[in-house]
Amino acid sequence: MEIYLAGGCFWGLQGYFDLIEGVRKTQVGYANSSIPNPSYEQVCANLTNATEAVHIVYDPAILSLTHLLWRFFDVIDPTALNYQANDIGTQYRNGIYTKNPELLPSIRAFIAQHITPLYTREVVTEVMLLQNFFVAESYHQKYLAKNPYGYCHIDITKALKPLNSKYLH
């Protein structure tokens, strides 16, 4: 199975999901761009409407979509519109994208049932079909593995810990 997740800078999400059991492959890139093959500079200049995202291939026999979504929401703020931590701009919006239209209702139901009740502010996570995905430049791939002290708004070690107890209701 595969899914595309956006939640701020893609370096942190990739580093985090690379540590989750059942994730087989990750690749960072630009989702839902209005232009083909955007560069990082074009995305940052807000010329593309793309969001930084991570393409995740996972084994559903080991990692369910529900557990993957819990993990995602454990490291992002779903009420943050066009930012996560110090990452500000539309390319840092949070979202869940899929090529499979049959997944959309279950993802939306999961958010409505489990995530929305946890917040007093509106949950603004995009949930939509993936329009396109362009692989980011090679220096972005596995960035935190290559630069362990690089900037990251996500505590990737959370991947090695049990989920936050607020999710276990």
What torsion, rounded to 10 degrees, do the Cα atoms 10, 12, 13, 17 define?
Answer: 140
9 is catalytic: yes
- Contact in structure between 5 and 96 (CB atoms under 8 Å): yes
What is the band of 132 on the pLDDT scale with cuts at 50, 70, 90? very high
Share of the chain above pLDDT 90, in %: 89
Q: How many domains are contained in the chain?
A: 1
Instruction: Say which CATH number the domain at 75 has.
Output: 3.30.1060.10
User: Token pair of 9, please?
Assistant: 């800078």
Structural domain including 27 reads: 2-167
* Mean pLDDT to the nearest integer, 29-44: 98
If one compares 1 and 167, the residue with the highest pLDDT of the two is 1
> Which member of 9, 123, 136, 159 is catalytic?
9
Is residue 54 within 8 A of residue 38, CB to CB? The reply is: no
Averaged pLDDT for residues 138-150: 94
169: pLDDT strictly greater than 60: no
